[in-house]
A = this chain, B = another copy of it.
Amino acid sequence: MLLQGITEGNPAVQRRAMAKAITLLESTRADHRLQADELLTALLPHTGRALRLGISGVPGVGKSTFIEALGLYLIEQGHRVAVLAIDPSSTVSGGSILGDKTRMERLSVHERAYIRPSPSSGTLGGVAEKTREAMLVCEAAGYDIVIVETVGVGQSETAVHGMTDMFCLLQLPNAGDELQAIKKGVMELADLVVINKADLDPFAATRAQSQIQSSLRLFGQHGNPEHAHHDESLWQPTVVQLSALQGQGVAGFWQQVSRFWQLQTDNGRFAAKRQRQAKSWMWERIEAGLRQRFRDHPAVKAQLENTTDQVLQGRLPASTAARQLLELFH
């Protein structure tokens, strides 16, 4: 029923079915989880045809404005656009600051757009899992562009990078920003860097563009043999300028995305990346499950604090402590 509503329903039915499905996926009840797994498995053949686009950037860089401009542009081109979010702060506060519909007034009311805020509790891994699953629901419902946004703090960028086909980093036209991104290792994840608000200071924007472009080139040459020798069949990370507020540069941005999409499909990296992502995702969830069970095991639970104290006080070697606790877990 839910499956049919998602894949075949008229717009209103579909929207209700999607919301219901995502609520089911986010439920922590054990019987819901079984139903959710059945639903996911049934949805799977209807998924995988969308482009998954990750978008990150620090607060104030203009992500909402950019995503709204991009979403409206894509709808005009005939696409259907879903916007999901991973908000690392939601795992602490239990409330979501991202993805709320008031930020994207025009996009959120459009019938060809679907906006869903970040799941609002749990570990980052748990939030990421729910977002990945919501992505499958959107794809099964025929949304062919799925945007996953996150703020440029914490490790959420790595999570978004791990579930999307292309990772775009929004930057302001100043160099401090660039160094921060390099330092945090986010620049290295980027397939495309977008300098937003370029109209405010065209000179600074152009300087930032050339600086970032040369950083990206350096990363590519030294760090990643994939990008060596400027092989024409391989994507070279690149930088574009735009002004989301003025609506300038969105078409140029999309041109780069399309070129990436085509190139990566032709050279086989698109499919290979998705396989890698699925496998890492499986292992990430296995490891999270193992840790949880370990901590919940009665004998471990009874001993963990005491053993940890002994390690902290230097009375028990850490590796011995680990082996003792693992014995209890048997």
Q: Which residues of A contact B (CB under 8 A)?
A: 33, 37, 40-41, 44, 47-48, 129, 132-133, 136, 176, 179-180, 182-185, 188, 218-219, 222-223, 275, 278-279, 281-287, 289-291, 293-294, 307-308, 311-312, 314-323, 325-326, 329
Q: Quick one: closest B residue to A284, CB to CB? A: B322
Bound-state CA distance A290–B290 (Å) is 7
Is there an interface contact between B282 and A286, defined as CB atoms closer than 8 Å? no
Bound-state CA distance A200–B89 (Å) is 50
**Which of B37, B185, B279, B319 has a CB less than 8 Å from the CB of A320?**
B37
Also in contact, A286 and B40, with CB within 8 A (given A182-B183, A184-B223, A308-B279): no
Q: What residues on B are CB-neighbors of A293 within 8 Å?
A: 326
Q: Quick one: closest B residue to A288, CB to CB? A: B322
> In whole Å, how far is A280's beta carbon from the nearest beta carbon of chain B?
8
> In whole Å, how far is A44's beta carbon from the nearest beta carbon of chain B?
6
Is there an interface contact between A319 and B222, defined as CB atoms closer than 8 Å? no
Is there an interface contact between A129 and B319, defined as CB atoms closer than 8 Å? yes
**Which of B37, B136, B283, B325 has a CB less than 8 Å from the CB of A286?**
B325
Is there an interface contact between B176 and A222, defined as CB atoms closer than 8 Å? yes
Q: What residues on B are CB-neighbors of A291 within 8 Å?
A: 287, 290
Bound-state CA distance A321–B37 (Å) is 9
Is there an interface contact between A219 and B183, defined as CB atoms closer than 8 Å? yes
Bound-state CA distance A290–B317 (Å) is 19
**Which of B136, B283, B315 has a CB less than 8 Å from the CB of A317?**
B136
Q: What residues on B are CB-neighbors of A179 within 8 Å?
A: 218, 222
Is there an interface contact between A278 and B311, defined as CB atoms closer than 8 Å? yes
Q: What residues on B are CB-neighbors of A278 within 8 Å?
A: 311-312, 314, 318
Q: What residues on B are CB-neighbors of A183 within 8 Å?
A: 182, 185, 188, 218-219, 222-223
Bound-state CA distance A275–B314 (Å) is 8
Further contacts, 13 of them, CB under 8 A, given A37-B320, A279-B308, A293-B326: A40-B317, A41-B316, A44-B314, A133-B317, A176-B222, A180-B222, A183-B219, A183-B223, A282-B319, A284-B322, A285-B322, A287-B291, A290-B326
Q: Quick one: closest B residue to A133, CB to CB? A: B319
Q: What residues on B are CB-neighbors of A289 within 8 Å?
A: 322-323, 326
15 inter-chain pairs at a CB distance below 8 angstroms, sorted by A residue, are A41-B316, A41-B317, A44-B317, A132-B318, A133-B317, A183-B185, A184-B223, A279-B311, A282-B307, A282-B318, A282-B322, A284-B322, A285-B323, A287-B291, A289-B322
Is there an interface contact between A318 and B223, defined as CB atoms closer than 8 Å? no
**Which of B185, B286, B308 has a CB less than 8 Å from the CB of A322?**
B286
